[in-house]
Amino acid sequence: MDLMTMDSTSSLATVGVGMLMADAHRNYRKGSALTFALPAGACTVAAVLACGLATLTLAAGRGWPFGEWRRVVEEPVIAPRGTGWEAAGTFNPAVVLHNGKYVMLYRAQDAAGTSRLGYAESSDGIHFTRRAEPVFVPETDYEKDGGVEDPRLVEIGGTYYLTYTGYNKNDAQLCLATSKDLLHWERKGVILPAYKGKWNVGWTKSGAIVPEKVDGKYWMYWLGTAADKTDQIGLSYSTDLVHWTEATETPVLPKRPGMFDSRVVEPGPAPILTPDGIVLVYNGADDKLAYRTGVAVFDRNDPRKVLSRTDKPIFAPEKEWEKTGQVPNVVFVEGMARQGRSGGRFLLYYGGADKYVGVAEAEAVRITPVPKR
């Protein structure tokens, strides 16, 4: 039984006794069955469970830098307010650490449905103070009327790169802007035009940039629309972070019929690089367009190669404000920040029902490289 076939909704598998922990880690190797060195011989997870043994717990997310997700607070940390630019919805946040504070850019919608990006700061990552005015507003023809949507942030070489969707009520296209302070932005334009690509026939959105070069290039996971009208994840590379070239002939992370990501597979925040892989948190929607969270791990040296992927979501709508809003039954993760360099935790920021911002947390897990065979 491979570790990735366990139930990922719990993210912990109770499979044995505590005294076997060290042997389990020593005997486990990537791609092999998880076994334990028992006096009577090696035993698979299924056999250990059959024996009724308990108390040994191992993270089911092999190669992930975080443990089980849980909500930090029961209510939204950002909600619509007033009658102006953020009256209808405040959701889908990007978060980075800047000058010792958590800085959030969030999508805000007015009553007409036009989106702008709001700015909020926090000292603890949970309690945020908002600026009265947006910091990024629609200006160009490709943003007119619809606005600027769904930010994702990554810091590279002292510059913040903001990928966002420019929407003009006709087309939605993946765009880029840069900043040194997260307040003043320079547009770089549309970086992946709609209706173009090796497999994409529709809109382009949701650019999640890998924060370091791999094989001498920058890489970005993004959302496109296939000929069957399903939304799936593509991959492009760049040498300058502005001009991008598609890397695959087909979606790099496709839909899976009958599963939680059968209709939409969409990147979340910027991926995390670990010694063993590129960890991408993504948002999946089923045929009823209920959005839940998955995780995919790609090869550390080849961002095109999928190593593992959750069969079941690790996070799902539960609270009433995640089930009822502008779009029902949605948790949509776009922000992630690590709290503490040694140990600590990850804070994970998500949109609830396209109306609110919520925060989850997960314990940071130290990743030890798996020896190559």
Q: Which domains does the chain have, with CATH numbers?
A: 3-59 (no CATH), 72-363 (2.115.10.20)
What's the pLDDT score for residue 63? 76
Note the pTM of the prediction, 2 decimals. Answer: 0.83
What's the pLDDT score for residue 342? 61
Within the chain, which residues score under 70 in pLDDT? Answer: 1-62, 341-343, 367-373
Q: Could you tell me the two tokens for 107?
A: 């999508």
What's the pLDDT score for residue 78? 98
Each residue of 110-130: pLDDT tens digit? 999 999 999 999 999 999 999
What's the pLDDT score for residue 341? 65
What's the pLDDT score for residue 343? 62
What's the pLDDT score for residue 34? 32
What's the pLDDT score for residue 365? 85
